[in-house]
Structure 1
């Protein structure tokens, strides 16, 4: 009995000591966030991993979609097509007769599932990830800047406006998206020139210098306006709805931080709403982008580009109100899973680093206590 009492007493003392240590280390909720706050580098790593995972999972959907489109509408020489994997838009030119080009391979597919099965059986599973390298090259810097900037701006705005302000996701989402697309826009133009014709880096450098000398530095941001009109409102609505859905689900399931499923569900719902509302700007951007690519790839003399509102009025006059929402189903099929996978992967990465920092701080404190 004495032994049992001593054992229970030791456990009680150990428990009290652990609680005391945790309280001393963790403190209030604000101190906890400061102690275990993830660094900017960790945020960048989490967003980078999220972009890679999203590209790996969503790119096969676009490959199949383009192959289905190609069998019904074949591309003639000098033409191109645009596809998007949910993170970036991509344009491919059909100029040569390279029979290895995945978009020119013949196919007789009855539907999406049939296309998946036949591509894997005949061409190999690697064919589903054709076009992945340019996706990663363009998506990674933009995604890292976007998500890292959003978290940094949110933190600054919370200190100014209060942590419960509804304006924080809208402001942080808009500014971070504006910054990321401004940085990436010249890279997109460079990729446009490299894909339109085979250029060495020296030739590319000369080509860019000539463009800048002729039209000025602002020519590197050609096409920025319609992209901003689509992406900035999308980002504002996406983050506003995502934070609302996330907070509600966390309260409903009594979760202190969002689980993978909470982030996934919130991201899919928020992405679907934002994609639907901003679809008219996406339709305009696609039309303006095809015009730009026509000038680039077919060496047509470039006319003055029509404004976004002029293009929108033209689409409305030609196709009616439904023309502004053309392609809503394939856009939702792409954007909803891409948003869900990206944000859930990013939140999981942040949670991982937060726990890692907590564990390191706990070990550091215990080590210093033992030394004393």
Structure 2
């Protein structure tokens, strides 16, 4: 679905690179059938390895969030909802910035214009990812791995920050309803 979604989003975009070809899909089912017919069913899994590696993003986010929350609540200090929001936003911004280069590579693989090294399987995927990292750095410099980061941060940081505030409110309410002696953190 992600490969089809990415291709449908980029339909009609004018590319500066003339090597990139335009795709014309009449809808989701047409996109599926064209991709399978033209590139093979395996293409639908382009970007899966980066996706599997990217499960570290929420792990990093929660690790940073919990460490910052613990520090803010040290000595039994009450943590306000505003502070929880800020801590959640910072944690997500750090996690997103740390993993964004891999998200860039994932998008390139999903877009399907990269033809790889012809090797299949996991080792071929790892070498393709490594090649794409190096190629991106060679063409655009190290910051080329971070193109579009601002939009991604806007998309994810506010959502994550709000989610942490809601999470803390629900947790505090649940403990209160259950009659447990955990003090709310805010």
TM-score (norm 1): 0.34
Of structures 1 and 2, the larger Rg is shown by: 1
Whether 1:197 aligns to 2:29 is yes
Q: Which runs of 5+ in 2 are unaligned?
A: 1-6, 11-22, 181-186
1:58-73 maps to which residues of 2 (within 5 A)? none
2:132 counterpart residue number: 311
Q: Which runs of 5+ in 1 are unaligned?
A: 1-78, 83-92, 97-194, 296-302, 360-372
1:270 counterpart residue number: 91
User: Which of 80, 104, 122 is the matching residue for 2:8?
Assistant: 80
- Using a 3 Å threshold, how does the CA distance of structure 1 residues 354 and 343 change in structure 2: closer, same or farther? same
- Using a 3 Å threshold, how does the CA distance of structure 1 residues 315 and 220 change in structure 2: closer, same or farther? closer
1:1-372 maps to which residues of 2 (within 5 A)? 80-81=8-9, 95-96=25-26, 196-197=28-29, 223-232=47-56, 234-251=57-74, 254-255=77-78, 258-291=79-112, 307-358=128-179
Deviation at 1:196, TM superposition (A): 2.4
* Separation in structure 2 between the aligned mates of residue 350 and residue 358 of structure 1, nearest angstrom: 12
* Separation in structure 2 between the aligned mates of residue 246 and residue 226 of structure 1, nearest angstrom: 29
Q: Give the RMSD, CA atoms, in angstroms.
A: 3.5
CA offset digits 1:20-62 (Å, max 9, x no partner): xxxxxxxxxxxxxxxxxxxxxxxxxxxxxxxxxxxxxxxxxxx
> How many aligned positions are there?
148
TM-score (norm 2): 0.64
Is the CA contact 2:50–2:102 (under 8 Å) kept in the aligned structure 1? yes
* Separation in structure 1 between the aligned mates of residue 138 and residue 152 of structure 2, nearest angstrom: 23
Identify, as 1 or 2, the structure richer in helix. 1
Is the CA contact 2:50–2:106 (under 8 Å) kept in the aligned structure 1? yes
